[in-house]
Structure 1
């Protein structure tokens, strides 16, 4: 078993907290792991004043400029790269990215391939070279996603994808649960919703990265498909995998399918930990890809 450190990177609206149960399971398997907050998220988040102002003004909430609008992939990746250097201490790490954490680890691996032993995308955005994650929202494979119905305001104006995490409207809360935590017990899902940030910096979804064979294309990668995902539909996950394999056929993606919703770190933390360990074994770039279906 590989014993490179694992660095766990969350997706939009989330924070390092979402990996807590997985870290426990990884420790039980003998794998050291660290979860970090991306810029603009978790303890590094900043919320628009309109979110907490009472009486609540939906119009003000939808139009207030995001305090994290300045965050983009380049800044987030630079911060993550520095954290990886501190953790690695000369040993490349396995970077595990969920959802919109994908573009950030992609940039890290492109700019610093020596820091990364393997990339693991968990239902993650894995955009092709020079393609912004936002472009995939226009594709037919994204049509089944429940995310657009959650968003308020114009992201290009306020600088963020924005959701109302404090709403007392049960329809809104049900939509949040179905989108992010469809296979998570309701009480646990509600606890997670209370921890979500309301703004995901648009720069994480709007900025592109140029991928090269010497950079990102040289790093072994694994993709964990979540087959019941209502946020990043499985059809879109397959687009990411197929585009990557066409661009870098000498280093094909190792793929596993998990029968979970968007957040297996909450619905199936033990299974996720075991799968990450199983599929983060050392593998020389260019060896044959594999596709596993995991119950």
Structure 2
């Protein structure tokens, strides 16, 4: 991993969250890595985590990934990162790999699909996607472009978060408030 010139190279991890999450979900891992001497950064993608952007106004991957692109653009010329994407964050990793090949030394897809550039990061995100039967029981879909269009956002209903996301986490984490995270409609043209 390139450093910033004359300094000893530092291994820098950059973490990208999945749906219904934000940078906050990496806090334990980033703390452990920093304590071990690594650099660790996590980002809130547009409309996720503490981002003030309404996820229903995010309609393309470049807009969704803008915070990640800004972070990678601001790195010193010789600095490279290990980019880690979870779940739908795999699509963001792929997009970043295409745009910042000289800034990424390794990409890790953690329970994420390795998708082709320009494709959707999940079968749930096709341009014709609508909530499948039974999915509205677990997920709350939002339709920023109208009910007759594909969903523009999704969040897991509170009563299912512990069961599906955090079933192996300590009980004190079960009250973690998940922020509504929009998923981007990767338009296939």
TM-score range, shorter-chain basis? Answer: 0.7 to 0.9
Q: 2:146 aligns with which of 157, 165, 174?
A: 157
Q: Which secondary structure state, in structure 2, belongs to the residue aligned with residue 182 of structure 1? A: coil
Q: 2:161 aligns with which of 172, 176, 188?
A: 176
Q: Compute the displacement of 1:148 (Å).
A: 5.7
Does structure 1 retain, via aligned residues, the 8 Å contact 2:83–2:107? yes
199 and 21 in structure 1: CA distance in 2 versus 1, 3 angstrom threshold: closer
Q: Compute the displacement of 1:20 (Å).
A: 1.0
Q: Which secondary structure state, in structure 2, belongs to the residue aligned with residue 41 of structure 1? A: coil
State whether structure 2 residue 37 is matched by structure 1 residue 34.
no
Residue matched to 2:30: 23
Q: What is the TM-score normalised by the length of structure 1?
A: 0.50
Query: For residues 213-228 of structure 1, what are the structure 2 equivalents within 5 Å?
Result: none
Q: Compute the displacement of 1:185 (Å).
A: 2.2
137 and 207 in structure 1: CA distance in 2 versus 1, 3 angstrom threshold: closer
Q: Which secondary structure state, in structure 2, belongs to the residue aligned with residue 17 of structure 1? A: helix
Residue matched to 2:5: none
* Cα deviation digits, residues 173-208 of structure 1 (max 9, x gap): 1x2211111211232122x2x1x12242343xx346
Structure 1 stretches of 5 or more lacking a match? 47-66, 139-145, 166-171, 209-295
153 and 26 in structure 1: CA distance in 2 versus 1, 3 angstrom threshold: closer
Residue matched to 1:106: 94
Does structure 2 retain, via aligned residues, the 8 Å contact 1:99–1:125? yes
After TM superposition, which residue ranges in structure 1, 4 or more long, deviate above 6 angstroms?
A: none
Structure-2 separation of matches of 1:154 and 1:76: 16
Residue matched to 1:14: 21
Q: What is the TM-score normalised by the length of structure 2?
A: 0.74
More helix by share: 1
State whether structure 2 residue 55 is matched by structure 1 residue 68.
yes
Q: Which secondary structure state, in structure 1, belongs to the residue aligned with residue 88 of structure 2? A: helix
Residue matched to 1:290: none
Q: Compute the displacement of 1:33 (Å).
A: 0.8
Query: For residues 84-163 of structure 1, what are the structure 2 equivalents within 5 Å?
Result: 84-135=72-123, 149-153=137-141, 155=143, 157=146, 159-163=151-155
Q: Compute the displacement of 1:29 (Å).
A: 2.2
Structure-2 separation of matches of 1:25 and 1:75: 31
Structure 2 stretches of 5 or more lacking a match? 2-8, 127-133
Residue matched to 2:171: 186
Residue matched to 2:68: 80
Q: How well do the aligned residues superpose, as a CA RMSD in angstroms?
A: 3.0
* Cα deviation digits, residues 251-289 of structure 1 (max 9, x gap): xxxxxxxxxxxxxxxxxxxxxxxxxxxxxxxxxxxxxxx
Q: Which secondary structure state, in structure 2, belongs to the residue aligned with residue 187 of structure 1? A: helix
Structure-1 separation of matches of 2:42 and 2:96: 16
Residue matched to 2:12: 5
